[in-house]
A and B are shown apart, each in its own frame.
Chain A
Amino acid sequence: MEKLLEMKNIYKSFDGVVALRGIDFEVGYNEVVGLLGDNGAGKSTLIKIISGVHSFDQGEMYIKGTKIDPKKYSVKVAHSLGVETVYQEKALAEKQTLWRNIFIGRQITNKLGFINIKKEKEETNKIMRVSIGFRGIGADADSTIRTLSGGEREGVAISRAMYFEADLVILDEPTMALSLQEVNKVLKFIQDIKERGKSCIYISHNIANIYPVSDRFVVIDRGKIVGTYLRKDISLHELSEELIRHTEQGKPVSQGEREL
């Protein structure tokens, strides 16, 4: 069966430091996958490869059955294939207005490349009002990002992904630094993705939050996939135990050395 995303034996290193060593990873149509693992395990590298920010050194990647050429793959290509990434507030430019942030990289322009500011502002205001209920925050299209709170920024980043109708939404730490209420909004957003028949990958440290909305969990450790679990087969408690087991397994040598 064709998968939405398929990665086979993916390798990636930065200046000689190996970040990913033979990753096999896939996301099905209408599936929500949680990517779990310690800091430095390679989660961010993996999603940056999927979203076109980094290229991979070795291995094969398919999106909707199309083979990806790492040399030609880019954020723009990813967008055109329906892959949209939310890097929380990290991917927002603080001094710029909301409307510029929503449309950066995909500006509504005329043939000469001049931006249709009126249209972009209208669309932005629409997004702010309708999208996912981050409304009434006293901000409009002309507000700069730095006047917004952390939750509001997250809202803008998520709205941007929603607006461009992605088939695969990637969320990088979507619930970090959010209030309880805001976390609920993000979870609602993931549920919406699922209900609309789309797929989602998210990275989170807080598995308790994310557990109920997921279909499958993939644990990554030091550049390798070390475990895959379907939610229907594993309780939250068991999943936590598994995570702890993996992280402890990953470090016995170094800890032992330190104790000596």
Chain B
Amino acid sequence: MGNLNNNVKSKITTKYKSQIALLIMAISIFGLFMLTSPEVFLKGRIYQAFLSTVPIMGFMALGLTFVLAMGEIDLSFPSVMALSGYIFVLVFETTQNIVLAFIISLLSGAVVGFINGTLVTIIGIPSIVATLGMQFLIRGFSNIISRGLAKRVPLDSTFSYKIFAEKLWVIPVQSLWFLGLAVFFYFLLMRHKFGEQALFIGDNQEAARMMGVNVNRMKTMVFILMAVVAAFAGIISCYRMRTWWPTMGEGYLMMVMAAVFVGGTSMFGGDANIEGTFIGAFIIGSLEAGIVAAGLSGFWTQFVCGILIIVSVIIHTLAKRRKGS
């Protein structure tokens, strides 16, 4: 019995070991920034900037966390961001109907997700290959239909601009969307049938199938979810800049993956950490500004980012190993 109590106690501390380590890491990074460039990091403005830029990559990081929980990967989301962003701007321009633009843009994301899911489940192509192909295909397609030209769009003339691009008091609304979506994804993954089935597929696909989980349908739905949040990220990007540009989303692939892995979600599936992704997005998303503000060249960003990924993944791996024994 004593053994049992001990077991329970140690489980609670080990359960949150990764999260605690991550929080310490985030605090020390921002502490370091404050020390090296107090004139920037002790004022509110830089944080306002983070709160409006980080969420865009954060949305996709949340989606990718779900995909990884299921043991798959998606490389196509940066292109989806561009395509769906373009469709959003195009529909708005032609119809002046913001709701319609939203719906059609998100639907275009869903269609890409459906194609990804079908390639992976019905055809049986590994997701890394299928979505790599789709990443090029979608980027090319959005360049063809937009002729590679950027588009200005007067979104600030609509009421929705307040909801998707302005500030609520001093807080940029994007960050509230990010927080809301993170909470929603947490419940969807950890408390909902949908998330549980995704975790089982990532853990042991055969077991999931034998216990009555419709594996193909689940996978397709998760790819759709990923692509829809990427479309949403594209829309929010258009709001923020009041412009659509053809290279939208480029550079996000590695950043988003870095945020997810720093957050403690594993590549092996069956295990995911939404809270970690939330913190990881802010860590990765604020590095460049912090390093440049400290007076170092931009080259240092990649170097520091690399160190962070390696160190945090080592910490998560060790924490999990102890949990298992």
Which residues of A approach B to under 8 Å, CB–CB? Answer: 51-53, 74-76, 79, 85, 87, 90-96, 100, 104-107, 109, 112-115, 117, 138, 140, 142, 144, 146-147
Contacts of B194 in A (CB 8 A): 113
- Contacting pair A92 B11 (CB below 8 A): no
Q: How far is the CB of A5 from chain B (nearest CB, A)?
A: 18
From B3, B11, B206, give the contact of A90 (CB < 8 A).
Answer: B206
Jot down 14 A-B pairs with beta carbons below 8 A, ordered by A: A53-B209, A53-B210, A75-B211, A87-B207, A94-B270, A95-B203, A96-B270, A104-B213, A112-B192, A114-B187, A138-B3, A140-B8, A144-B324, A146-B324
Contacts of B324 in A (CB 8 A): 144, 146-147
From A53, A93, A112, A138, give the contact of B203 (CB < 8 A).
Answer: A93
Contacts of B200 in A (CB 8 A): 93, 96, 100, 104
Q: Please, which residue of chain A has its CB at the minimum distance from the CB of B205?
A: A93
Given A76-B212, A114-B187, A142 contacting B270 (CB threshold 8 A): no
Contacts of A85 in B (CB 8 A): 210
Q: Please, which residue of chain B has its CB at the minimum distance from the CB of A142?
A: B11
How many angstroms from the CA of A74 to the CA of B212 in the assembled complex? 7
Describe B's contact surface by its main secondary structure.
Answer: helix
Contact with A along B175-194 (1 / 0, CB 8 A): 00000000000010001111
Contacts of A146 in B (CB 8 A): 324
Given A104-B197, A113-B193, A92 contacting B207 (CB threshold 8 A): yes
How many angstroms from the CA of A115 to the CA of B190 in the assembled complex? 9
A52-B212, A91-B204 are known; give 8 further A-B pairs, CB within 8 A: A51-B210, A75-B212, A100-B199, A100-B200, A105-B212, A115-B196, A140-B4, A142-B11
Contacts of B8 in A (CB 8 A): 140, 142
Q: Please, which residue of chain A has its CB at the minimum distance from the CB of B201?
A: A93
Q: How far is the CB of B296 from chain A (nearest CB, A)?
A: 40
Q: How far is the CB of A46 from chain B (nearest CB, A)?
A: 15
Contacts of A53 in B (CB 8 A): 209-210
- Contacting pair A115 B193 (CB below 8 A): yes
Contacts of B210 in A (CB 8 A): 51, 53, 75, 85, 87, 90-91
- Contacting pair A95 B192 (CB below 8 A): no
From A79, A90, A93, A109, give the contact of B193 (CB < 8 A).
Answer: A109
How many angstroms from the CA of A146 to the CA of B203 in the assembled complex? 11
Describe A's contact surface by its main secondary structure.
Answer: loop
- Contacting pair A114 B207 (CB below 8 A): no
Q: How far is the CB of B152 from chain A (nearest CB, A)?
A: 41
How many angstroms from the CA of A91 to the CA of B207 in the assembled complex? 4
Q: How far is the CB of A170 from chain B (nearest CB, A)?
A: 11
What is the interface size of chain B, counting residues whose CB is below 8 A from a CB of the partner? 27
Q: How far is the CB of A22 from chain B (nearest CB, A)?
A: 26
Q: Is B157 part of the binding interface, using a Cβ–Cβ cutoff of 8 Å?
A: no
How many angstroms from the CA of A33 to the CA of B8 in the assembled complex? 42
Contacts of B208 in A (CB 8 A): 93, 104
Q: How far is the CB of B251 from chain A (nearest CB, A)?
A: 32
- Contacting pair B192 A114 (CB below 8 A): yes
Contacts of B204 in A (CB 8 A): 91-94
Contacts of B207 in A (CB 8 A): 87, 90-93, 104
Contacts of B94 in A (CB 8 A): none
- Contacting pair B7 A96 (CB below 8 A): no
Looking at B193, B206, B271, which has the most chain A CB atoms within 10 Å of its CB?
Answer: B193
- Contacting pair A104 B196 (CB below 8 A): yes
Q: Please, which residue of chain B has its CB at the minimum distance from the CB of A48?
A: B210
139-192 of chain B: CB within 8 A of chain A? 187, 191-192
From B7, B196, B199, B206, give the contact of A107 (CB < 8 A).
Answer: B196
How many angstroms from the CA of A142 to the CA of B208 in the assembled complex? 19
How many angstroms from the CA of A75 to the CA of B208 in the assembled complex? 11
How many angstroms from the CA of A138 to the CA of B7 in the assembled complex? 8
Contacts of B192 in A (CB 8 A): 109, 112-115
Q: How far is the CB of A99 from chain B (nearest CB, A)?
A: 10
How many angstroms from the CA of A138 to the CA of B196 in the assembled complex? 25
How many angstroms from the CA of A104 to the CA of B213 in the assembled complex? 8
Looking at B191, B196, B199, B210, which has the most chain A CB atoms within 10 Å of its CB?
Answer: B210
Q: How far is the CB of B202 from chain A (nearest CB, A)?
A: 8
Looking at B196, B200, B211, which has the most chain A CB atoms within 10 Å of its CB?
Answer: B211
How many angstroms from the CA of A113 to the CA of B195 in the assembled complex? 10
- Contacting pair A104 B187 (CB below 8 A): no
How many angstroms from the CA of A105 to the CA of B199 in the assembled complex? 12
Q: How far is the CB of B165 from chain A (nearest CB, A)?
A: 31
Closest 7 CB pairs of A and B: A75-B212, A105-B212, A93-B203, A105-B211, A95-B270, A93-B204, A91-B210
How many angstroms from the CA of A109 to the CA of B194 in the assembled complex? 11
From A75, A104, A114, give the contact of B191 (CB < 8 A).
Answer: A114
Given A104-B196, A114-B192, A96 contacting B212 (CB threshold 8 A): no
Contacts of B271 in A (CB 8 A): 95
Contacts of A115 in B (CB 8 A): 191-193, 196
Contacts of B270 in A (CB 8 A): 93-96
How many angstroms from the CA of A140 to the CA of B194 in the assembled complex? 24
Contacts of A144 in B (CB 8 A): 324
Contacts of B197 in A (CB 8 A): 104
